[in-house]
Amino acid sequence: MTEANKLAALRRSAGHTQQSCVAEFALEAARLGIDATLTVRQLRMWERELPPPLPHPAQQVVLEANFGVPLTELGFVGSRTSAAPRALHRP
């Protein structure tokens, strides 16, 4: 499996289309209280490019929660997730 296809493979194995994955992302972001969005266009770009562009920190948190794996297992390189929770922390 190529790096760009890891996200697509995990999405498909979870039974999601690109559209339903975007909807699930929105639900997870709301559940976590994180202001993050995702479009089908963005998801398509992540699935197509090698390596895919790194998501914004808030998106990283939601993606990891959604799929239950670190971003590197989704095919992303140079993850900033270690800094994401601090950046999103609300006093």
For residues 33 and 57, the answer to whether their CB atoms sit within 8 Å is: no
Query: For 71-84, how does the pLDDT look when each residue is reduced to its tens digit (9 = 90+)?
Result: 999 989 875 544 34
Query: For 25-41, how does the pLDDT look when each residue is reduced to its tens digit (9 = 90+)?
Result: 999 999 999 999 999 99
Q: Beta-carbon neighbour count of residue 56 at 10 Å?
A: 16
DSSP for 10-40?
HHHHTT--HHHHHHHHHHHHHHHT------H
pLDDT of the residue at 79: 56
pTM, to two decimals: 0.80
Query: For 54-65, how does the pLDDT look when each residue is reduced to its tens digit (9 = 90+)?
Result: 999 999 999 999
